[in-house]
Structure 1
Amino acid sequence: MTFHDFQFDSKLQEGLDAINFTTPTPVQEQAIPPILEGKDIIAAAQTGTGKTAAFLLPVINRIIQEAAEHQSIKALIVVPTRELAIQIDQQMEGLSYFTSVNSIAVYGGSDGAAFAREKQALTQGADMVIGTPGRLMAHLKMNYVKLNHLKFLVLDEADRMLDMGFSQDLMNIISYLPAKRQNLMFSATMPPKIRELTKKILQDPLEISIAISKPAERVKQGAFILYDYQKLQVAVGLLRTQDLKSVIVFCSTKQNTKNLTQELKRAGLNAEEIHSDLEQKEREHVLNEFRNRKISILVATDILSRGIDIEDIEMVLNFDVPRDAEDYIHRIGRTARAASKGTAYTLVGEKEQGKFYQIEQLMEMTVPKGKFPPNFGETPEYNPKKNRGGDERRGGFRKKKN
């Protein structure tokens, strides 16, 4: 199957040909036809599967086909983070380049001038609005956003929005929308709360499931079992001994991210941090520097584990064990995207063993454990049933005590 088989509008297809979009991914192949037919869908798909284009392309095509004389908002895409809103808006710009369909992204973390620009664009009526729940509600409450001609509602990363406490905001946003509309929901996981949300929002949806809880086969995985105070030594060793130009190091907390970045810089490594304490402009600057290879090591919280599309990540290093298998998969899924290969290592502290074992069980696989040289020093045994630890959510950043 090729994208030509979907019989998109000629201008939309021209854009796809220009960026060498030829063969749809499985989620695109399954989701695009029913969306074109006007059906509600709920799709379970990991990041990196092409799910953004799976909803953007048919929605753009429908907007072209149903072109109205009046300029009005036709589609609303709700996402959990500003980074994802920016990314979708950028992808939208590329896919719709040869069409007349336009979009605007609205998100928090910017100044009053940005809010005013958003207000002006929303008042004029962009075809597609991409936004975070809080920012969308801020505009909707002021009653200048007209949604009476809206045809499409898309909820992307729906599970993460619920995890972040946006459930009530989502229902408030939906209260402003016309009852007659097409609803599209994309989620990495399908917990009971997503099923409940589906019942409230979607009408007789078609369910699409693209294998979840399985890491990409092209990712070479490994884990090192150690004490917390040994993590920094191993991290520096891994980053120094390999000539890598693009590495993401994940930490479970902002404080660990800050601490580790400082230590890596002291070790002479080209590292920068990104987390929610940075201003939006700072975060965008760091991401651009990383994309352009001016920064080789990006130390991040899970804000980067979902949704952000950065090409050619050579290695992912989990400095802290993530909270569950889905987060682990999202993290290591930053590498080995498209047809490339990549490596992912996890540093497993003694009290994180139980959590890492649960991840292995859910993935139905055993991650190979790395061995240390004889002069490295004592390390703990991998005995996860014994070493479950207490509060394992925060991970570990410890220096060896003198």
Structure 2
Amino acid sequence: MQFNELNLHEDVLTGVDAMNYLQVTPIQEQAIPIILDGKDLIASAQTGTGKTAAYLIPLLDQIIRQQSNQTSALILVPTRELAKQIDEQIEGFSYFINATSIAIYGGGKGEDWDQQRKALVKGADIIIATPGRLMAHMNSGEVKFDHIKCLVLDEADKMLDMGFSDDILFVLKHLPPKRQNLMFSATMPKKIRDFANKILHNPEEIRLAVSKPAVGIDQQFYLASDEQKLPLLVHLMKNTDATSVIIFSSQKVMIERIVRALGRAKFDAKGISSDNSQEEREEYLRGFKNKQFKILVATDVLSRGIDINNLNLVINFDVPRDAEDYIHRIGRTARAETTGTAYTFINEKDQYRIANIEKLLEREVEKRNITESLGLGKAPEYKGSQPRKPFRKPEGSGKKKFFKKKKPSDSLPPAV
């Protein structure tokens, strides 16, 4: 399907064409007509399927037709990186549509707060915000959302995982009760459905094939103990021709250790975690996108919602806690029908997580054992992916034990 078949305003179509959007993706084909009809929507689609444009395009269509001077759409997102990216997309469209947007997020300098406050009070067509930062501004009493016509929750599952549910509900209390609500989520667990029932009104539902990585990803699993991971990483990096690499670690404390190990091996790498300032994160991400250095080490802050072109290799330094996070991590590569590679390191204690990953993949992945051939010693034996057994007290441990009391002479030192 082509975009000109979706009954969009001609200025929107001009912007779509200028942004090099060619074919309508499945999520866009299904979501755009529903949103244009003003209905509530809950949609699940994995990263890289074009879901951001699936709601931005109809929102911009409504804005250009209504010609309102009030803020008409509020988009809540889990991370500042995603907020900035959506703001940049709107900026790309707005050359033809003349729509304004504001990205509201924390972590910047003190003057950023005043700039955001002034922009919120003045208003814009679309506000993109992280829930906590927006709630802080709303507590000042200066920010009003009396004219919001549409609320979007993007990466809703991630926001709930990060503990934003109370913040979101606070924001909702200050919005007009009569509005359109759109919820986009990569996964659809029960907690998302329960949350959707609180805020959506007779929603339409879209469920695309979720949690399936692109067919162009070569997935490789490597068995390695924690002590073997860094030298294994260096070996693999020395034997790859990848020019753009992201290394994910679930442990924030490992980011700098990985960067230092790569540096000793003459690899230029930068690390991003919540410990970095906003300026550092933006500088490193911009430098990585511009090919100023080829290796970016990050926590899951980058696993969703960030578009990086021509990414060759994704490395999971440890197995992600959730199978869905594995899909999001490796989904950074092999985008737009390209190819890519994903390495995952499996230590002994993380083996039980592999079963859930392979269940989503609907196949087993070969577990490679190369540490001994590299002189690093034997790798942990792969014992299968059964969940760890819960701790049980030894039989009879709940019974009371009775001990014979010692006589005073038994416990006191002999008289001298």
When the two structures are superposed, what TM-score results if normalisation uses the length of structure 2?
A: 0.90
CA contact (8 A) 2:220 2:365 kept: yes
Partner of 1:15: 15
Partner of 1:354: 352
CA contact (8 A) 2:214 2:334 kept: yes
**Pick from 91, 94, 98: which aligns with 1:93?**
91
SS at match of 1:96: helix
Q: Distance in 2 between matches of 1:7 and 1:151?
A: 20
**Pick from 74, 77, 83: which aligns with 2:75?**
77
CA contact (8 A) 1:355 1:388 kept: no
Partner of 1:40: 40
**Pick from 264, 267, 273: which aligns with 2:265?**
267
- Work out whether 1:218 is the aligned partner of 2:211: no
- Work out whether 1:31 is the aligned partner of 2:26: no
Taking only aligned residues, the RMSD between alpha carbons, in angstroms, comes to 1.6
Partner of 1:247: 245
Q: Superposed, which structure 2 residues align to 1:105-144 within 5 Å?
A: 105-144=103-142
Moved more, 203-212 or 5-14: 5-14
Q: Given the superposition, is the C-alpha separation of residues 230 and 4 from structure 1 closer, same or farther in structure 2, using an over 3 Å criterion? A: same
Partner of 1:194: 192
Residues 234-263 of structure 1 deviation map (CA, whole Å, 9 limit, x = unaligned): 111111111221000111111011111111
Partner of 2:179: 181
Q: Given the superposition, is the C-alpha separation of residues 37 and 387 from structure 1 closer, same or farther in structure 2, using an over 3 Å criterion? A: closer
1:146 is displaced (CA, Å) by 2.4
Q: Superposed, which structure 2 residues align to 1:336-347 within 5 Å?
A: 336-347=334-345
Partner of 2:256: 258
SS at match of 1:114: helix
- Work out whether 1:293 is the aligned partner of 2:255: no
Instruction: Report which of the two structures shows the higher radius of gyration computed on alpha carbons.
Output: 2
Output the amino acid matched with 1:353: Q
CA contact (8 A) 1:261 1:299 kept: yes
Output the amino acid matched with 1:52: T
CA contact (8 A) 2:228 2:371 kept: no
- Work out whether 1:62 is the aligned partner of 2:62: yes
Q: Distance in 2 between matches of 1:298 and 1:281?
A: 16
- Work out whether 1:384 is the aligned partner of 2:384: yes
Partner of 1:306: 304
When the two structures are superposed, what TM-score results if normalisation uses the length of structure 1?
A: 0.93
Partner of 1:395: none
Q: Given the superposition, is the C-alpha separation of residues 263 and 205 from structure 1 closer, same or farther in structure 2, using an over 3 Å criterion? A: same
Moved more, 364-373 or 74-83: 364-373
Q: Distance in 2 between matches of 1:153 and 1:61?
A: 15
Partner of 1:398: none
Matched residue count: 389
CA contact (8 A) 2:246 2:296 kept: yes
Residues 352-387 of structure 1 deviation map (CA, whole Å, 9 limit, x = unaligned): 111123321233211122342863332232212579
Moved more, 9-18 or 284-293: 9-18
Partner of 1:397: none
Partner of 1:51: 51
Q: Given the superposition, is the C-alpha separation of residues 331 and 389 from structure 1 closer, same or farther in structure 2, using an over 3 Å criterion? A: farther
SS at match of 2:33: helix
Partner of 2:412: none
1:85 is displaced (CA, Å) by 0.5
Q: Distance in 1 between matches of 2:167 and 2:387?
A: 40
List alignment gaps of at least 5 residues for structure 1: 392-402
Q: Given the superposition, is the C-alpha separation of residues 387 and 7 from structure 1 closer, same or farther in structure 2, using an over 3 Å criterion? A: closer
Q: Given the superposition, is the C-alpha separation of residues 387 and 196 from structure 1 closer, same or farther in structure 2, using an over 3 Å criterion? A: closer
Moved more, 323-332 or 235-244: 235-244
CA contact (8 A) 1:325 1:363 kept: no
Q: Distance in 2 between matches of 1:45 and 1:362?
A: 14
SS at match of 1:252: coil
